[in-house]
Amino acid sequence: MSADEAFVTLATTDSYCMGATVVARSLRRHGTTRHIVVMITPNISEQSRLALKNEFDDVIVVDVMDSEDSLHLSLLGRPELGITFTKIHCWTLTQYSKCVFLDADTLVLCNVDELFERDELSAAPDPGWPDCFNSGVFVFRPSLHTHTRLLDHARRHGSFDGGDQGLLNSFFSGWSVEDISKHLPFIYNLSVSSVYSYLPAFQQFGHGAKIIHFLGGDKPWKSQGNSSGSHTMEQFVSLWWKEYLIHTTPSAPAAQPKQEQKKPQQIPEREAKMKSTENLDSTNSLLAHFSPPSESLYSQPEPTLCSHTDGRQLEEEPRSLEEESRSYEETEVVDPPLGAEGLEGSDATADAATDPRPADAEPEQLEHRRMWEMGQVDYLGRDSFQNIQRMLDRFLD
Ligand code: UDP
Ligand code: GLC
Ligand code: MN
């Protein structure tokens, strides 16, 4: 494991701690070999800190920094984002030589360690103004010198959006034209809003998504994934909840060579009510639960979506289907949502979503599981999103 490189996120409130938890779990699920670090502010409760310590390699307390620029923030429509100036403290993490910052509202869908091959400042275009980069995902080099220069820049010029993104874009102002290798493909920061703003592109390329960004005021932890919003949005929110509710046990030793196994998170209120009986997921990809907006456009469901590469990170060997499914078989749900009485027997989805022990399983279930693990997911039938959704709804109630 590269102990001098890290993924970094930020949480200044208990709600964003939920998001940070998902960032850590989704990175770990996909076998990152890098440290996973969260910066928190002094107001974060002791309970949340303890929970985060179980998820992260390092929990670092930083000072709150707020632009207090209500004028620009009101233009952005997000008065609460002045506090994102706190993100700038990530440059003080000089115990690491290189880091990847991930907003706490991101969800990692596959191993993205290849991002460490990029240099500062690499980021993906912002969907609202593509000549700016979005600061929800970026590669940087911690440096006290850069940190001081950033603070100085903020003091002198402020931020055109009142948050870190405006500041960073004016500081790294050459990003849009200078070096194309610093432009991350959009699949590393796929904002859910792009699903609506350019649906044909989403249908064409969305299956290659590596990191989903719940950019905007609606955060997954504020909803249950079963109310308003588009079908696709609901699916992403459900994926987020799934990652929040399951606990992964690092499995493939190759994927996490020296990393100490993290203890399961303390059980917060919502899960405390749930019984611990079965595995939720034995799929070979979390995205296997993702059914595209219009199935007819996807004649070939592609569950091992994240083996997709963009041509710049070819050194990464995509994990074989066998390795991938082994890793998911060892996915452990410490406090899974389904009670023993749950959906067993009657509900077809329960077969897919639980981990039947071969001795107990019916031949049909075994065959279903075999197909599932081979990536032959019955998107339109028993493994349809509606069935998964029903199961999620039951445990979220
Ligand atoms: N953040 C935080 N507390 C807040 C607001 C933001 O910790 O009250 C952090 C968190 O990591 C979050 C990031 O700053 O993901 C940027 O904010 P957000 O993701 O809400 O902005 P968006 O991407 O929606 O523009
Ligand atoms: C953006 C980014 C977010 C940033 C915010 C404020 O929309 O997604 O990371 O904190 O703007 O600048
Ligand atoms: Mn964000």
Q: Are 53 and 47 in contact (CB under 8 A)?
A: no
pLDDT at 28: 96
**Residue 308's pLDDT band (boundaries 50, 70, 90)?**
very low
What pLDDT does 370 receive?
Answer: 53
Greater confidence (280 vs 103) lies with: 103
Q: How many helices (H) and strands (E) does the chain have?
A: 13, 9
Mean pLDDT on 351-378? 48
More confident residue, 357 or 307: 307
* Residue 357 CB coordination number (10 Å): 8
| C-alpha to C-alpha distances, 41 to 12, 13, 51, 71, 185, nearest whole angstrom | 5, 8, 15, 24, 31
Give which of 44, 41, 92 is closest to 63, Cα–Cα. Answer: 41
Of 23, 28, 18, nearest to 48 by C-alpha is: 18
Find all residues with CB under 8 Å of 161, minimum gap 6, and list them: 72, 73, 75, 76, 81
pLDDT in tens, 160-204: 999 999 999 999 999 999 999 999 999 999 999 888 889 899 999
Q: Which range among 135-144, 161-170, 217-226, 338-347 shows the weakest confidence by mean pLDDT?
A: 338-347
Determine the average pLDDT of the residues in 261-274.
35
Answer with the residue of higher pLDDT: 84 or 256: 84
> CA nearest 356: which of 288, 282, 246?
282
Average pLDDT over residues 228-256: 69
Which residue has the least CA distance to atom 23 on ligand 1? 215
Any idea what DSSP says for residue 274?
S
Quick one: which of 121, 11, 95, 98 has its CA closest to 56?
11
Ligand 1 site, residue 16, Cβ cutoff 6 A: yes
Residue 287, preceding peptide bond in cis (omega within 30° of 0): no
Beta strand segments in the chain, E: 2-11, 34-40, 58-61, 98-102, 106-108, 122-125, 133-140, 190-191, 211-213
Atom nearest to 81 CA in ligand 2: 6
Which of 16, 84, 107, 126 is the pocket-test mutation for ligand 2 (most atoms within 8 Å of CB)? Answer: 84
Mean pLDDT of the region 201-214: 94
pTM over 0.85: no
280/206: higher pLDDT: 206
Q: Ligand 1: does its nearest atom lie under 6 Å from the Cβ of 10?
A: yes
> Which region among 43-47, 96-100, 144-148, 244-248 has the lowest average model confidence (pLDDT)?
244-248
Distance CA 186, CA 388 (A): 28
Q: Indicate the pLDDT class of residue 363, thresholds 50, 70 and 90.
A: low
Query: Is the model more confident about 296 or about 215?
Result: 215
- The letter for the amino acid at 371 is M
- Classified as helix, coil or strand, 247 is strand
User: pLDDT at position 95, please?
Assistant: 98
pLDDT at 2: 75
Distance from the CA of 130 to the center of ligand 1, in angstroms? 20
In contact, 7 and 32? CB cutoff 8 Å: yes
pLDDT score at 390:
63
pLDDT at 103 over 70: yes
Pick from 363, 364, 358, 354: which is nearest to 387 by CA? 354
Who surrounds ion ligand 3 at CB < 5 A?
103, 105, 136, 215
- The 3-class secondary structure across 341-365, one letter per residue, is CCCCCCCHHHHHHCCCCCCCCCHHH
- Give the chain's radius of gyration (CA, Å): 21
What is the rounded distance in angstroms from the CA atom of residue 150 to the CA atom of residue 74? 23
Asked if 211 contacts 190 with a C-beta cutoff of 8 angstroms, the reply is: yes
Task: Single out the residue of 184, 177, 131 nearest to residue 310, CA to CA.
Answer: 184
Residues 225-236: tens digit of each pLDDT: 555 567 788 889
Q: Which residue has the higher pLDDT, 272 or 93?
A: 93
Q: Among the atoms of ligand 2, which is closest to the Cα of residue 163? A: 12
